[in-house]
Amino acid sequence: KSVAWILTFSPHQLLLSRSKGSPDRKAQSAFSMLREVTSRPQHRMLRLRCKTKNGSHIMQGLTHQSCVQELKTKVEELTGIACDVQKIMVGYPPSSLDLRNGDAHLKDYPIKSGDTLIVEEEQNKPKPQDHLVVKVPRLEASPVLVRRVVPADNSCLFTSIYYVVEGGVYDPACAPEMRGLISQIVSSDPAAYSEAVLGKTNEDYCTWIRRDDTWGGAIEVSILSKFYQCEICVVDTQTVRVDRFGEDAGYHKRVLLIYDGIHYDPLQKVMPGSESPPQTIFSTTDDIILAQALELADEARRKRQFTDVNRFALRCMVCQTGLVGQKEAREHAKETGHTNFGEV
């Protein structure tokens, strides 16, 4: 934006110097100085998002040289939360920023490009008291890991992954876009995504995955893990194990899904009794969150909240043939081309 301002501020001067072949030294000097300044890391625009319980916003116009008051003003413009009652958190797990010094620069805070700032409104800010008030300490509630149920509409995997990588944004309309994304990635690399990997030709797979009546699985999770540059952990409720996609890729972020044999749901950490946004992105060094996810899976297993894909009864919705388990369904699909099955 700074470069554009300089050019529009003195276009005739710059154009004249070029056309006559005798550059204006002042204009050249100013342009060189501007280019040098804006190329410094502290002057580069920060790519930030801020998220509240009402949604997320893209935040533009800030650099590491911006002051705290500029940040708070920008947050107020986007969210409507007044500067003096803002609570801004960043990182995984989120930690509050001390923003009392409005003149401090953002470079002095753990804010980097690509971060999502979680913004809450402080409801009970302390007010000055004329007399001594003795407060009785109360136990703070701890966040808990829970399942966020999404519709069983053949696209639960895509809805679930979008929900966790976007920090708790529920958008069932995302499925066609994500299916199209996977199709583009697969078609662009037929060597890596061959018939041996996909179970069908590259072209047939790309057509198949775009349909809204097909299910995603391990192949799609692996592709989306690479695309979003994060580890996707799928917790299986029947076997009580975790399949970690992108485990050895060196990613710093981790998201969690729970799988019952035929359906995926996202996992999130929420604060009981609070309207704070859920936490869906965790550090790959956080082994406690994996243990908590396994506890959820084990609880679901004890309650028989899973489907044994090797034994459950199916019916082909095209020819009404009765089938048992995933293996028979796969063989039937190869023999007939029918891929629409329903559980009996």
Q: What is the pLDDT of residue 12?
A: 37
Domain boundaries of the chain, sorted by first residue: 2-39, 48-121, 144-302, 313-343
Q: What is the pLDDT of residue 41?
A: 56
Question: In the annotation, is 338 catalytic?
Answer: yes
User: Which entry of 153, 213, 286, 298 is annotated as an active-site residue?
Assistant: 153
Rounded Cα distance between 75 and 48, Å, is 11
Question: In the annotation, is 332 catalytic?
Answer: no
CA distances to 28, 30, 61, 63, 129 from 6, rounded to whole Å, are: 11, 9, 17, 19, 52
144-302 classified as CATH 3.30.1510.10? no
Of the chain, the percentage scoring pLDDT greater than 90 comes to 36
Q: What is the pLDDT of residue 33?
A: 53
Instruction: Give the mean pLDDT of the chain.
Output: 80
Question: In the annotation, is 12 catalytic?
Answer: no
User: Which entry of 156, 174, 206, 316 is annotated as an active-site residue?
Assistant: 156
- Which CATH entry fits the domain spanning 48-121: 1.10.620.20, 3.10.20.90, 1.10.10.10, 3.50.30.50? 3.10.20.90
252-253-258-259 Cα dihedral, nearest 10 degrees: -70
Q: What is the pLDDT of residue 9?
A: 39
Instruction: Report the DSSP pairing between strands 264-270 and 253-259.
Output: antiparallel
* pLDDT profile of the chain (344 residues), mean per 10: 40 38 52 51 74 82 88 89 89 80 87 85 59 54 87 92 94 93 96 93 95 92 96 92 93 94 90 87 93 89 58 72 73 71 58
Question: In the annotation, is 213 catalytic?
Answer: no
User: Which entry of 263, 265, 316, 332 is annotated as an active-site residue?
Assistant: 263
Whether the model clears a pTM of 0.75, i.e. scores above it, the answer is no
Rounded Cα distance between 8 and 24, Å, is 16
Q: What is the pLDDT of residue 14?
A: 39
3-state secondary structure the chain: CHHHHHHHHCHHHHHHHHHHCCCCHHHHHHHHHHHHHHCCHHHCCCCEEEEECCEEEEECCCCCCCEHHHHHHHHHHHHCCCHHHEEEEECCCCEECCCCCCCCEHHHCCCCCCCEEEEEECCCCCCCCCCCCCCCCCCCCCCEEEECCCCCCCCHHHHHHHHHHCCCCCCHHHHHHHHHHHHHHHHCCCCCCCHHHHCCCHHHHHHHHCCCCCCCCHHHHHHHHHHHCCEEEEEECCCCEEEEECCCCCCCEEEEEEECCCCEEEEEEECCCCCCCCECCEECCCHHHHHHHHHHHHHHHHCCCCCCCCCCEEEECCCCCEEEHHHHHHHHHHHHCCCCEEEC
